[in-house]
Amino acid sequence: MKRLFYIILSPLLISCSTIKFLGNPITAPLVKYNKKDALVLHEKRFWHLMDLRSDSIAGMSVNRAHDELIKDQKGKMVIVAVIDSGVDINHPELKEAIWVNDDEIPNNRIDDDQNGYVDDVHGWNFLGESELENMESVRLQKKEAPGSEVFEKFEKDRLKNIQNKKEELTSIESMIQKYYESDSIIKLLLGKEKYSLQEVEDFSPKTFALMEALIFRRFLNENQLTKSKLEVYLKGAQSGIDAHYNIDFEGRAIVGDDPDDFEDQGYGNGNVIGPKKDGANHGTHVSGIIAANRGNEKGNRGVFDDAKIMVLRAVPDGDEYDKDIALAIRYAVDNGAKVINTSFGKSYSPHKEWVWEALKHAEKNDVLIVNAAGNSGDNINPGKKKTYVTDEVNGKEIVSNFLTVGAVGSSYTKKHVASFSNFGSVNVDIFAPGSKIWSSVPNGKYEYYSGTSMAAPNAAGVAAVIRSFFPKLNAQQVKKVLMNSGMPLYPTIENPKTGKMVNPKTLSRSGKMVNLYNALIYASK
């Protein structure tokens, strides 16, 4: 088996680098190594970077790769474009990792490098001052005549989604109220303003009120739910009612372009954070996963902090526009990115051809796109549920540089694939850690987020390492390195939709999870 592991790509990898990383890759499931006890705080925060063999935790062996293989070696600088909600470029974990366009003079209102974008020092904001947006289904509904069959179908779905958001809003409001009530009780009984959960656990005697407060706090702690995260979820539910599914809402008007005219490209600005810093939560979290400072023991650690993050704000609070995504991909390609992270998705794509042409432009220019599979727990193979962005057209891949990533959790068991993760033996290439990932959020803070949105940047970070140390490998070869070198999933695994036990290769093309340690050794052969 070890010999086969090395041979598959050897014709592609000959003489690609003078650097050789030597070690013993994980080539078979290591069930016996899986940690049985609950994770402690350090393990919860950094599990995705850990190693199944040395740490008994099924991460991507990132720390082990840095400690045993990379050490002090430096590769070629790699730009990773993050197409997302915006990024807090001043976050202490990220400010040294943000790409700088050296050919552009900041704030002089001149397109110094003549690339068509004025003052694009760290990337571009295709949304301008816009924050909230409709879902694409609502935008499509607006184009139909009221009373028509298509309009009424969309209307039924829209009203159902509004009702779901109202119920979600009520539930979150209740949790926030319960948070404040429990906080007041704990402060009163402990006689202090600041406390730890352990102090509540140890306090005696425990009254009925304190026990209720403690049970609730245990629930929040187990699910990594903080007050700030609950408030983010509350805002999201309210946005669903006010904007996402509000047919009367017009989010694009402030941008000033025609989103149905691809030639209308003179819009946006260079403020890659966005109009409000807290609107950059998602993009900041994604960027931290890729490139946060690895030397900071207090915050999070990125997969590869030698990467430079090019920020492209194109994902609003709502569905993105095809035009923005296509132009963002083209910007990334034309301005030096070698990896593009696309942690977003939607069910409808009225101008998908613009995006497909952008994907082909990336392929032609040797840029790897790492794409989140989506979070509906569905099979996204051809003929099944559609999710965009995709490289599939009529059941066939149209480009070779597109890696779609599903999500796994920390437990190396039959339930390794996250319950929310999309899957598919054709349209999902590989899995990566995506459940309860600790990373940066605006204003110097950190949170746990879950989703294939987190899995994609974990894979993108690994891809950046490979592109850095093996610059002669093209995007297709890097994709194959990640897929073929991945750590095997549990031998028989649960299908997140059906609950049936299946072969891992029925859930992704590789049946594996991205592993940096393996990838470096594999690329060296």
Task: Give the bridge partners for 341, in sequence order.
Answer: 82, 370
| pLDDT for the residue 34 | 74
| pLDDT, tens digit (0-9, with 9 covering 90-100), for 266-306 | 899 999 999 999 999 999 999 999 999 998 766 899 999 99
Give exposure, 154-182, as e/b (b: 16+ Cβ within 10 Å): bbeebeebbeebeebbeebeebeebbeeb
pLDDT score for 59: 96
Residue-level pLDDT at 11:
37
Q: How many CB atoms lie within 10 A of CB 74?
A: 9
Give the chain's residues under pLDDT 50.
1-16
> 400-430: per-residue pLDDT in tens?
999 999 999 998 999 999 999 999 999 999 9
pLDDT at 10: 36
pLDDT value at residue 436? 95
pLDDT at 297: 66
The C-alpha atoms of residue 259 and residue 139 are separated, in whole angstroms, by 11
Task: Specify the pLDDT at position 8.
Answer: 32
Q: Note the pLDDT tens digit of each residue in 239-255.
A: 999 999 999 999 999 99
Distance CA 314, CA 324 (A): 6
How many angstroms separate the CA atoms of 458 and 427, rounded? Answer: 19
Q: Which helix (H) or strand (E) holds 125?
A: strand 123-125
Domains and CATH numbers, the chain: 2-33+46-133+251-524 (3.40.50.200), 142-244 (no CATH)
Q: What local confidence, expressed as pLDDT, does residue 4 receive?
A: 31
**Per DSSP, what are the bridge partners of residue 372?**
405
Identify the pLDDT of residue 18: 62
Could you tell me the sign of the dihedral formed by the alpha carbons of 167, 170, 172, 174, in that order? negative
Phi, psi of 488 (to 5 degrees): -60, 140
Counting Cα atoms < 13 Å in the Cβ hemisphere of 235 gives 13
The answer to whether 433 and 512 are in contact (CB under 8 A) is no
